[in-house]
A and B are shown apart, each in its own frame.
Chain A
């Protein structure tokens, strides 16, 4: 068993003496070959095969504390990149050596045409070339042979198997020609050393390019990782101390200056500032944060100094959860790839069978030299077949697509959600908080009294109520800086309104039924109330001391960008339907302003799920956009649930798609992105299928009757090497995805 390296975080270590004590204690643990303490970082690195718990025990026995260190994902990523670069260079070296032999040999063959063995001198010369080729095959392509052999022992076959068999067959046949030329007819005494060297060189080149292209597919996760700071400025006993991020505890107070990043999630205690959250939410406008507001790790403090208290640290922060979710989603299964997966599973052995059948056909029915033709066909079929392109087609596109979504504040749970989002034909949208602000505002006040006088009375009446409409009235009074009197005898009359005594006057506020109940003549006000309702506002009657004195109206303002988002969705071919608990008149007025096709009003929360189910029974593919908490059952029922909740924890855990930005544009972005990704996957799958279904027959010689020539194994090698690079490069095109803009609609 090879030696492992384990890393521990130490506590209670302060001096060089402790270092020696710990190192000595851990080195006495069986299986430890080396223990090294880094005093500056307070870490312990243990090399060997020792049990982790026993190492911790040894440190504790020595009087200190140790815990397995959490690996810094960013550091891990950097190591990975360094390793990729090393591997890339190694592949280029291997490619260079192999082509340095292959190209001159091929040129010799093309120029002189002398690649045959007829004389002892040629036997000797080609024998030397054969040995050099063998050295190149071992040095530059040894991993193909070991890989092929290992896979074979496991009853498995992969790309290595095909390359090993193809190049191995070419070399063995050529050596047979060199050693025993007499065994073969004169026309078949051709050597193929150049094919072995060229194929190995080209495939190494292809793999090098693939390593490069693949690095770009995880660019999105890398960007997210870079948002995470490595240290934080914590306030300890009134002083600022810079400490490593993993030492920050919940409850620590931290200072963030203008131009700095927020290190962990927390709540602002002192100060106010504009904070750029675009990296997490896709929302371009900075958000004002002041006392009591929540700030997230990775966001950027623009202009003020904030002191905030850490709430969530380490893997608990929203940023860490987003990174984790994106990583998981990037490798999840997409239903469309099922067939490709099934084909990949049997692909390589099937190609081997096809290669033998093709070789036998050429041997039995082909023209002379039969042995040479048979060999060329065998090698070409083995080499041209590319299981990688097929296997890479889906995962590469999903990696780039899901990562791109995260950049736009769209978190896609898995591949299935991605595929279903691309198929939607109906989007059901909850009105409150999605199409509207979710916070009603006072819009109209019509009265025989003075406007402010009535507002003051009503605000005083409603001051104790928690109803959202009451809040709108109180807020309006506060905006006008009215002084509110005390309310006495307050009474909420269910489904009617409220009553109470303010400044000695009996004040009523409610619907028309309230006036009827109290035997008050509504007078001219019903006509005004209806006119206001037609504009999408909720109108209420006010009465003072038994007389109807006016109506006031509140409305939940339509979000600035809702109309543009609805237009985008409609342009994408979706039917947009609005759901709301409001009355029909108000709902229809809002729908009209937004140009929404269908409205379902007067709904109870449980009706939303029933409605989604009904649409599904009608054969529609239904997406549902809501806030992720109240709409949870309907979101779960829908083919794709879009949780619009600025990324609340609940939403991230349950929704198919979480929109970090509280805007319907996120749903439009998600649908456009999923369609672009699915299109990309289909192009890749189609390309990989077509490549193999055309390439294999061509390599088998079906074009020979028309062209009079067989496909050169070298060309087969080049085609194979570049097919997988093409797939990865095509997936990388998704990095340039941009959400659409709808012209003519203000956003």
Chain B
């Protein structure tokens, strides 16, 4: 009985992991772009991690880094070849050129912090 219960629990956990991390949507904290929007870099996540941005005009994002660990030191937009070193406990400006519509990921160097710009 115990054996069966442990096995079922294990399999349910696996199913939950697969569902939560891979199948369920990731857009937990989407936000519309505004000049005063700040992206908080803290505890392993960008908040908001999804930013809706207007297409066709240059914008400036503000990243406020509250995580002093080196993991959070850089924000990298790999598709745009843009990266910026983030100062701790301060907002750092990241200027982006006018973008075409589409999705542009941004991450830390190690790709543990993850976010997406949704240009529309």
Q: Which residues of A contact B (CB under 8 A)?
A: 1-2, 4-5, 51, 76, 79-80, 83-84, 86-87, 90, 143, 146-160, 207, 210-211, 214, 327-328, 330-333, 341, 344-346, 348-349, 352-353, 356-357, 359-360, 363-364, 387-388, 391-392, 395, 414
- Residue on B nearest A150 in the bound complex, by CB: B43
Known: A2-B64, A207-B69, A345-B111. A147 touches B44 (CB 8 A): yes
B43/A143 in contact, CB under 8 A:
yes
Task: Give the complex CA separation of A333 and B78 in angstroms.
Answer: 6
Task: Give the complex CA separation of A86 and B49 in angstroms.
Answer: 28
- Residue on B nearest A389 in the bound complex, by CB: B110
Say which residue of A330, A360, A391 sits within 8 Å of B111 (CB atoms).
Answer: A391
Known: A160-B44, A327-B85, A357-B14. A154 touches B29 (CB 8 A): yes
B10/A359 in contact, CB under 8 A:
yes
Say which residue of A148, A341, A363 sits within 8 Å of B3 (CB atoms).
Answer: A363
Q: Would you give the shortest CB distance from A726 to chain B, in whole angstroms?
A: 15
B3/A364 in contact, CB under 8 A:
yes
Residues of B within 8 A of A83 (CB): 68, 87-89
5 further A-B contacts with Cβ under 8 Å, apart from A2-B64, A158-B113, A344-B111, are: A87-B68, A154-B45, A352-B17, A359-B10, A391-B110
16 interchain pairs (CB within 8 A)? A1-B38, A83-B87, A87-B69, A149-B43, A154-B29, A158-B112, A210-B70, A211-B70, A327-B83, A328-B82, A328-B83, A332-B83, A356-B13, A356-B14, A391-B111, A395-B109
B45/A214 in contact, CB under 8 A:
no
Q: Would you give the shortest CB distance from A504 to chain B, in whole angstroms?
A: 66
Residues of A within 8 A of B26 (CB): 154-156
A148/B44 in contact, CB under 8 A:
yes
Say which residue of B24, B78, B88 sits within 8 Å of A80 (CB atoms).
Answer: B88
A388/B68 in contact, CB under 8 A:
no
Residues of B within 8 A of A143 (CB): 43, 69
A360/B6 in contact, CB under 8 A:
yes
Known: A151-B43, A387-B112. A328 touches B81 (CB 8 A): yes
B81/A332 in contact, CB under 8 A:
yes
- Residue on A nearest B48 in the bound complex, by CB: A154
Q: Would you give the shortest CB distance from A243 to chain B, in whole angstroms?
A: 26
Say which residue of A150, A349, A391 sits within 8 Å of B22 (CB atoms).
Answer: A349
B83/A341 in contact, CB under 8 A:
no
Q: Would you give the shortest CB distance from B62 to chain A, in whole angstroms?
A: 9
Q: Would you give the shortest CB distance from B110 to chain A, in whole angstroms?
A: 3
- Residue on A nearest B15 in the bound complex, by CB: A353
- Residue on B nearest A80 in the bound complex, by CB: B87
- Residue on B nearest A71 in the bound complex, by CB: B87
B110/A387 in contact, CB under 8 A:
yes
A353/B83 in contact, CB under 8 A:
no
User: Taking the complex as formed, is B91 at the interface, i.e. its CB lies under 8 A from any CB of chain A?
Assistant: yes
Task: Provide the B34-68 mask, 1 if CB < 8 A to any CB of A, else 0.
Answer: 00101000111100010000000000000010001
Task: Give the complex CA separation of A156 and B70 in angstroms.
Answer: 19
Task: Give the complex CA separation of A350 and B64 in angstroms.
Answer: 31
Residues of B within 8 A of A344 (CB): 110-112
Q: Which residues of B contact A (CB under 8 A)?
A: 3, 6-7, 10-11, 13-14, 17-18, 20-22, 24-26, 28-29, 36, 38, 42-45, 49, 64, 68-71, 73-74, 76, 78, 81-83, 85, 87-91, 109-114
Q: Would you give the shortest CB distance from A222 to chain B, in whole angstroms?
A: 12
Task: Give the complex CA separation of A7 and B13 in angstroms.
Answer: 51
Q: Would you give the shortest CB distance from A230 to chain B, in whole angstroms?
A: 19
A5/B44 in contact, CB under 8 A:
no
Q: Would you give the shortest CB distance from A696 to chain B, in whole angstroms?
A: 16
Residues of B within 8 A of A327 (CB): 83, 85
Inter-chain residue pair count (beta carbon < 8 A): 131
B81/A146 in contact, CB under 8 A:
no
A150/B69 in contact, CB under 8 A:
no
- Residue on A nearest B44 in the bound complex, by CB: A147
B110/A395 in contact, CB under 8 A:
yes
Say which residue of B18, B70, B85, B114 sits within 8 Å of A353 (CB atoms).
Answer: B18
Task: Give the complex CA separation of A158 and B108 in angstroms.
Answer: 12
Task: Give the complex CA separation of A79 and B29 in angstroms.
Answer: 31
Known: A87-B68, A357-B14, A391-B109. A146 touches B43 (CB 8 A): yes
Known: A155-B24, A158-B44. A392 touches B87 (CB 8 A): no
Say which residue of A80, A151, A341 sits within 8 Å of B44 (CB atoms).
Answer: A151
Residues of B within 8 A of A332 (CB): 78, 81, 83
Residues of A within 8 A of B18 (CB): 349, 353
B21/A156 in contact, CB under 8 A:
yes
Residues of A within 8 A of B49 (CB): 154
Known: A150-B45, A211-B70, A353-B18. A155 touches B28 (CB 8 A): yes
Q: Would you give the shortest CB distance from A152 to chain B, in whole angstroms?
A: 8
Task: Give the complex CA separation of A191 and B49 in angstroms.
Answer: 39
Task: Give the complex CA separation of A5 and B91 in angstroms.
Answer: 8
Task: Give the complex CA separation of A363 and B8 in angstroms.
Answer: 12
Q: Would you give the shortest CB distance from B30 to chain A, in whole angstroms?
A: 11
Task: Give the complex CA separation of A391 and B10 in angstroms.
Answer: 29
Task: Give the complex CA separation of A156 and B110 in angstroms.
Answer: 14
Say which residue of B13, B45, B78, B89 sits within 8 Å of A156 (CB atoms).
Answer: B45
- Residue on B nearest A221 in the bound complex, by CB: B85
Task: Give the complex CA separation of A108 and B74 in angstroms.
Answer: 43
- Residue on B nearest A390 in the bound complex, by CB: B110
Task: List the 10 closest A-B pairs by CB distance, nearest first.
Answer: A391-B110, A331-B83, A147-B44, A349-B21, A87-B68, A158-B112, A150-B43, A395-B109, A147-B43, A83-B88
A388/B110 in contact, CB under 8 A:
yes
Residues of B within 8 A of A4 (CB): 91
Q: Would you give the shortest CB distance from B78 to chain A, in whole angstroms?
A: 5
Among A143, A146, A154, A207, the most chain B Cβ lie within 10 Å of the Cβ of: A154
Residues of A within 8 A of B89 (CB): 83
Q: Would you give the shortest CB distance from B42 to chain A, in whole angstroms?
A: 8
Task: Give the complex CA separation of A571 and B39 in angstroms.
Answer: 51
Residues of A within 8 A of B110 (CB): 344, 387-388, 391-392, 395
Q: Would you give the shortest CB distance from B57 to chain A, in whole angstroms?
A: 18
- Residue on B nearest A346 in the bound complex, by CB: B22
- Residue on A nearest B89 in the bound complex, by CB: A83
Q: Would you give the shortest CB distance from B74 to chain A, in whole angstroms?
A: 6
Task: Give the complex CA separation of A360 and B8 in angstroms.
Answer: 10
Task: Give the complex CA separation of A387 and B3 in angstroms.
Answer: 32
